[in-house]
Every structure is written in C-alpha cells, then in structure tokens.
Amino acid sequence: MQEVRLGKVGMAAVDIATFHDLVPETRALSLPYLFSSDDQVARALNGPVGGRILGQIARLGLVALCFYDGGDRSFISRKPILRPSDLFGLRVATHPSGLEQGILRALGAKPIVLPEDKIARALKTGLIDAADADFTGFRESQKRDVGADWSATNHARSVQVVVMSRSLWGELSAHDRAALYAAAQESVAFQRKVEALLSTESPGTQAGASVDRRAFVETLRAVAESYRTAPTVEPLVNQIRETGSRDR
C-alpha cells in the first residue's frame, strides 16, 4: 500500500486488513462471522457500505477502485483445527492488524505477523504452526508441498481493495480515467467467477465437516462485539446485516 501511495507501484490489490488501523471503517468487513452468504458479501461491497469504505481509503492519498472477494478465511495448519482449544499456544501467521491479532488471541493462539508470500515456507520449516488465510493461501501451500490441513472454520471474510497511485491517476486523461474505472468494475465480476471456479477444487485434507463452528462463534463473540460498537463501524455493520436479511 505504501509503495502505491508513494507512486513506486502503479496499482495493487491490497488485503483489507492493511487498512484496519488507518481506516476504522474497513474493520466492518473483517468481523468474525458477520457474513452469511456470498450474495450478502457482494451486496455489501457493491453497495453503499463499499462506497463509503472506498471513499475513506481514498483519503489516504490513493485512488480506491473496487473490491475483490477472496472467500472465507480459515486455518492452514500441520494438524486439523476442529475447536478453539486446538489453537491454544500455536504460532499463527496473520496481518499487522489489531483486529486480526485480537481474533487469534481470543482463540488462545500467538499471532505472528508475516507476509503472505512467506507463509508456505514458514509452515514447512516450522517457524509457524498455522496461518489464518483464504483458500488461495491453502492452494499455495499445496503447491509448495507443505502437507498442511485446511480446517474450514470460515471465521471471517477475505477482502482485497484495488488501489492506484494518485500521481499516476493524475497523469491520465479524463477518457483514460473513465476507461480504467470501467475496466476495474468489469474485473470484479471476472474475479468472482474465477474465485468460484477455484473454490470447487478439492482442498485435499479437509477438516471442515468436523469443525465445531458454534464453539468458534461463541469464543469470538466478544471480539466481534467490541469492534462492532465503534462509532464508525456500527452503522456499516447494521447495513450489512440488513442486506443479509434478504438471504433468509
């Protein structure tokens, strides 16, 4: 994000957790067990909630174009994680976000801040015991022959925001800006199709059917509530929940 902000990189898809401590509104997209369906996620990201958050990110000196939905986040580990107690004392890779680290501490784990491209090797060498990641991260661990399990806790959502250098944006003509913005919006639908296709792949060792989801929900309830009631977050969470009522 800083590379884009400084103009060293023109454009990037950045994990929403990168903005948690800079733009509190972004935390609304990462609260534990907030979303109930893919459609609810799409409505939130494409509607007023997403628009509000993109506007706040833009105040950092970036051009915030759109969101990508990476699906549910779960745990990659060398052994199945079926209940919160299985995480006690484990070193778990995560993002440099107070919310993300708070989730892991509530589960009894030790948060280890680690770039995503280092996770597979860290798992393989034993530097960490597990990672909080989406299914893309798990596929990467399979490619590197880590021998890890995918425990489908589905405790939060993986969201990326596509940002562009404001200096580069300023060099474009009005026509090119409009074309680039339109292409970004078209890419959202394409990204979702690709993600849906990839998510049908067999995850290999899969503990999802045995995960005690209710135990995770109860354990993380206090964390979710403490962040939900923040003045900048609560209105967005209420809107997200309203969109979720359409799925029932």
Best CA proximity match to 41, nearest among 175, 192, 176: 192
Q: What is the mean pLDDT of residues 63-90?
A: 95
Mean pLDDT within 166-184: 96
- At residue 205, the pLDDT reads 47
- Residue recorded with tokens 């400084």: 6
Residues 6+ apart with CB under 8 A from 104: 87, 92, 94, 110, 111, 132
- pLDDT for the residue numbered 10: 92
Q: What is the overall mean pLDDT for the chain?
A: 91
Per residue in 195-214, pLDDT (tens digit) is 888 776 655 445 555 899 99
pLDDT tens column, 84-110: 999 999 999 999 999 999 999 999 999
What is the enclosing helix (H) or strand (E) of 63? strand 62-77
Question: What average pLDDT does this structure show over 167-185?
Answer: 96
Residue in this structure with the two tokens 């799925």, named with its chain if needed: 247
Instruction: Indicate the pLDDT class of residue 58, thresholds 50, 70 and 90.
Output: very high
**pLDDT of the residue at 247:** 62
Sequence-distant (6+) residues with CB within 8 A of 202 are: none
Show the domains of the chain with their CATH numbers. 2-223 (3.40.190.170)
Which backbone phi and psi does 39 adopt, to 5 degrees?
A: -65, -40
Span 62-90, average pLDDT: 95
- What are the strands of the beta sheet with 130-134, ordered from one edge? 11-15, 149-165, 62-77, 130-134, 91-94, 110-113
Q: What is the mean pLDDT of residues 136-164?
A: 89
Q: Quick one: pLDDT at residue 156? A: 96
The per-residue pLDDT for 19 is 95
Q: Is the pLDDT of residue 2 over 90?
A: no
Identify the CA nearest to 119 among candidates 110, 108, 130, 109: 130
pLDDT reported for residue 98: 94
Beta-ladder partners of 94: 113
What confidence score (pLDDT) does residue 187 get?
96
What mean pLDDT do residues 65-81 have? 93
Q: Considering Cα of 106, then 109, then 114, then 117, what sign does the dihedral take?
A: negative
Q: Which two tokens stand for residue 47?
A: 């509607």
Indicate whether this model's pTM tops 0.95: no
Task: Write the CB contacts of 62 (distance below 8 Å, at least 6 apart in sequence).
Answer: 1, 4, 5, 163, 164, 165, 166
